[in-house]
C-alpha cells in the first residue's frame, strides 16, 4: 500500500515523549515495555559523567563521557538540556534528535522534572509530557522499602525524594496512575497514538488532502 492512499501511513514529524515519575512508580518498566513493543520510538540516549554500572552499555544506556568532554559540549551548545543530578552531569544531545524528528522517528525520554522543563522551553511543539504516579503512598513506601534490607533512614530519604518529585506533577500534559502495569502501559500508548495523529504532526496531510480535492 502506498502512503498516498492511507492517512495512517502519511509522512509525519516525530515527537518527544517524556516519561517522569518518582522512583518506585514504575516508569522504567513502562518505558521498557514501550521500547520493546513499538518500533517507531527509540530511547533518547543521554550523555553523563557518572561511572558506568554493571550491565550498562556505552552508547545504549548512556554516552559515558568525562567532565571535560561534557563541559565542552555545554560550551558548544550541543545539548537540548542538561542538569546535575546526584552530583553528576546529564544532558540530552541535540544532533540525533533533530534529525530523527524530521524523519518521523519518536524519542522516549526518561528524565526528571528539571530536564522536562528545559526541553519544553526549547521545543514546545514536539514535546509530550507524561507523569506517572504511584497508586497510593502506602504502595510507594512498600516499593521503596525493597527487600527490607535498607535502614529506616534510607527508606525515609527515598520517600522524601519521591514526594519532592511528585510535587511537580502539574508541569505535565498527562498524568497516569500506575495501579496496574499493563493498564498504565495501555494508557501511555493511547496518549502516544493520539499525539501522533495530531494534525500539526502529520506533515503529509497537505499533499494527501490536495489529492482528495482534485477532480
Which residues here bind ligand 5GP, judged by CB under 6 A?
46, 50, 81, 83, 85, 90-92, 110-112, 114-115
Residue 204 CB, nearest approach to ligand 5GP (Å): 31
Q: Which three cell numbers stand for residue 106?
A: 519518536
Q: Which is nearer to ligand 5GP, 10 or 73 (CB)?
A: 73
Q: Which is nearer to ligand 5GP, 21 or 202 (CB)?
A: 21
Which region holds residue 128: left if phi is over 0, alpha if psi is between -120 and 50, else beta?
A: beta
Residue 205 CB, nearest approach to ligand 5GP (Å): 32
Closest residue by beta carbon to ligand 5GP: 115
Give every CB contact of residue 110 below 8 A, 6+ residues apart in sequence. 19, 20, 27, 28, 31, 43
Residue 60 CB, nearest approach to ligand 5GP (Å): 12
Residue 152 CB, nearest approach to ligand 5GP (Å): 23
Mind giving me the DSSP string for 166-200? HTTGGGSSEEEE-SSHHHHHHHHHHHHHHHHT-GG
Q: Which is nearer to ligand 5GP, 32 or 203 (CB)?
A: 32
Q: Which is nearer to ligand 5GP, 61 or 105 (CB)?
A: 61
Sheet holding 41-43: strands in order across?
41-43, 106-110, 16-20, 127-133, 174-177
Amino acid at each position: 500500500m502506498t502512503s498516498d492512499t492511507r492517512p495512517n501511513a502519511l509522512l509525519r514529524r516525530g515527537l518527544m515523549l517524556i516519561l517522569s515519575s518518582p522512583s518506585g512508580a514504575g516508569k522504567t518498566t513502562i518505558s521498557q515495555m514501550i521500547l520493546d513493543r513499538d518500533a517507531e520510538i527509540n530511547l533518547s540516549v543521554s550523555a553523563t559523567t557518572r561511572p558506568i554500572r554493571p550491565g550498562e552499555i556505552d552508547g545504549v544506556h548512556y554516552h559515558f563521557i568525562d567532565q571535560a568532554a561534557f563541559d565542552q559540549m555545554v560550551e558548544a551548545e550541543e545539548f537540548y538540556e542538561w542538569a546535575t543530578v546526584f552530583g553528576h552531569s546529564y544532558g540530552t544531545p541535540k544532533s540525533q534528535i533533530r534529525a530523527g524528528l524530521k524523519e518521523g522517528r519518536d524519542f522516549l525520554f526518561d528524565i526528571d522534572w528539571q530536564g522536562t522543563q528545559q526541553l519544553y522551553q526549547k521545543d514546545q511543539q514536539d514535546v509530550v509530557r507524561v507523569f506517572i504516579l504511584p497508586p497510593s503512598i502506602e504502595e510507594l513506601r512498600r516499593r521503596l522499602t525493597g527487600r527490607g534490607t535498607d535502614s529506616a533512614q534510607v527508606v525515609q530519604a527515598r520517600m522524601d525524594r519521591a514526594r519532592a518529585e511528585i510535587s511537580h506533577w502539574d508541569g505535565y500534559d498527562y498524568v497516569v496512575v500506575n495501579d496496574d502495569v499493563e493498564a498504565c502501559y495501555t494508557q501511555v500508548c493511547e496518549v502516544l497514538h493520539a499525539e501522533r495523529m495530531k494534525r500539526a504532526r502529520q506533515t503529509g496531510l497537505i499533499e494527501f488532502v490536495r489529492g482528495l480535492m482534485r477532480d
